[in-house]
Structure 1
């Protein structure tokens, strides 16, 4: 389908979804659409975490930056996600060592730690209202996974000097998460969670104040890979020395080489009505976030006003299903004590995944870069991705290339067959989760 479909299938043009995030964030005044002939040093397509971070870092280096978004800043996955800021890459270090070798895996770990620190710093500086809750609990949905969680915590302390992960046995897990669905796991106090839309809007304010020319309602139709490059919207023609594609799951078919490696999928979140303190303590004690070990992950945390924000379930077409009904099912399986609790908000978004769940960084030609495919681990890594892209544009490409050297193969069958093959794979993994 055309790129316009993924951008308009489930949302009103230029409007944030009716999420708890949008309801509790102070919106920015609209930025004008791009129009006419525009010249810039850098043109960035996509005003999510990657694009906003890149724009902010480039402006700090003195570049003249134009930032385009088809809807509004932070409108896509950046303003809709679970808000969890995880440590490490999407793959654990043992898997990364097998994929790229120990030295490369260590360098990727160091970058991921920088990503968390950068996110916390930028949020504190530009979006203090985004908050920070410390700790992410990884909950094992099968007893056989608990020894692996303990072994991973021991490996991180032994081989990486990272001692912020504490293994949890069944009793310790039950003391933190009030559900019989989990058999143990770990808690990582190096990670945390924040309000993602407030964070995105804070980055946008800072970028605009630094001189970035932000244009909303500006859908890119074509990019000419010339030097300088030319980016065309319906009403503007932007000529720029460099282009950064930061579209993630909303790329569509704008750039086929990236589309073959980064597939859009939909994920969903509900918010309950505020819970009374006694009921809240029956669900989750402390201000930690939780993500479980199912292939289609369930993840949850409490909002500042005591709502359970529960994410889970996926779909792979363009149209969203009945989100409240879809997500309430796993929520009640994990927390039957919430039966009768009202769902006040239900929303979805589209993210980009890769075959091996590692981000896809690439130089499409000398002056055109792409960074996307964070596979649900993008709050921190996308923020860092913007910094690395800014470094590469400024001529310091070593760290961008470190990420680009991680292999991200095309989906089998390319864009034509990736959807039916993924549906089959997800059906299998969902069955495995249930069994």
Structure 2
């Protein structure tokens, strides 16, 4: 039995694959050693294996144990800051490159599902829901921006009547449907990708926390009971590195998000709540997100705990949010509650780079991890293979330490979040 089981989530309870992989107990060689068996590590491994590299993944707990197996399961395009924001930082030419990459993650996910026959309840279609006219204006601008960057034929603005045909709630004045978005059972996606890694000859060791990374021409990665000598190392631990690489910590902060899952609602009620079976997220700074599971439960998430402390009563935080959206669920029982960490950066853009010549990393998806991590895997694999244009574009993004360092990053972020939450409430 692995010493660290999955969080007690709906996803873990409904996982397709309960296989437990062995611990690393020997010294081995591999072209690439990847730290972390979440989406970033798994996507990197799959792309590297297709390029002919030998790959070993070391996972401290279980495949998909962190955010990859606990998130809201929504396939959302672009990044946590949109393409226009990035363009202001990097200029027109690199902005165009980010515009091309903004929609690639969802395509990678869907192609991996098809290629490796992964059973993870894939459904097409995601909706951004506007709570006030200001947010609706923002969605109109987002549609124009995304179409300018080539995302044509996928987007549809929804007025007040349209959105009532998508979500049975009085909260929204309109929305934007992205038909190329969608939703999945996130843990089953990770487990399916892990199986695909192994089918291509990759090795995955669970219960194998990395304790030290020795840099050099052939870096060596140590666990408690073994080691991997490699030509390249990929650090893909995101919010769960636990101080392993101090140089990656100052400019990022783990944050917790909470999720609840109802009892099965039955076809009639489920189809009434979300008739098109799209996933939905609102446009608030601290947003709510929800969707139906494959067995017709409502999965509802939201809230941010800065510094990633686990709240004592998750249901007390999220259930009122769910009832504000769907008061008709007053008597519905909550079967599962859990929390998971994502990594926030001050810029809300991912941090990608290299330590020395051969240790690569990607982290800090800032809440947009499902699609970004799959793109990151392709970019990291291409860079290791010698095609670094897109890697360099990400690596050139400026990143700043949180004001006051680790001691003050939580209160400063909470104050910022309060400010934006008040703006959302006032619709200004």
Q: Give the TM-score category using the shorter length.
A: over 0.9
- Root-mean-square deviation (CA, aligned residues, Å) is 1.8
Q: Which moved more, 1:318-327 or 1:184-193?
A: 318-327
SS at match of 1:254: coil
- Give the aligned partner of residue 201 of structure 1: 191
- Give the aligned partner of residue 383 of structure 1: 374
- Give the aligned partner of residue 191 of structure 1: 181
Map 1:295-306 to 2 at 5 A.
295-306=285-296
Aligned pair 1:332/2:312, yes or no? Answer: no
CA contact (8 A) 1:248 1:262 kept: no
- Give the aligned partner of residue 132 of structure 1: 122
Aligned pair count reads 424
Map 1:34-113 to 2 at 5 A.
34-113=24-103
Map 1:233-382 to 2 at 5 A.
233-321=223-311, 322-382=313-373
Q: Which moved more, 1:115-124 or 1:57-66?
A: 57-66
CA contact (8 A) 2:121 2:294 kept: no
- Give the aligned partner of residue 210 of structure 2: 220
> 1-side partners of 2:202 and 2:146: how far apart?
40
> 2-side partners of 1:116 and 1:65: how far apart?
24
> 2-side partners of 1:127 and 1:297: how far apart?
32
> 2-side partners of 1:142 and 1:56: how far apart?
42
> 2-side partners of 1:176 and 1:213: how far apart?
43
Q: Which whole-Å deviations, capped at 9, do the CAs of 1:62-105 have from their partners, x for residues lacking one?
A: 22221101001111100111111112222222222222223222
> 2-side partners of 1:305 and 1:199: how far apart?
16
> 1-side partners of 2:282 and 2:298: how far apart?
16
CA contact (8 A) 1:244 1:368 kept: yes
The alpha carbon displacement at 1:142 in A equals 2.0
Q: Which moved more, 1:154-163 or 1:396-405?
A: 154-163
The alpha carbon displacement at 1:238 in A equals 2.3
SS at match of 1:329: helix
> 2-side partners of 1:190 and 1:170: how far apart?
22
Relative to the length of structure 2, the TM-score reads 0.94
> 2-side partners of 1:175 and 1:342: how far apart?
25
Map 1:412-431 to 2 at 5 A.
412-431=403-422
> 1-side partners of 2:287 and 2:322: how far apart?
12
Q: Which moved more, 1:403-412 or 1:115-124?
A: 403-412
Cα–Cα, structure 1 residues 156 and 395, in superposed 2: closer, same or farther, change >3 Å?
Answer: closer
> 2-side partners of 1:13 and 1:199: how far apart?
22
- Give the aligned partner of residue 115 of structure 1: 105
Alignment gaps of 5+ in structure 1: 1-11
The alpha carbon displacement at 1:415 in A equals 2.8
CA contact (8 A) 2:171 2:325 kept: yes
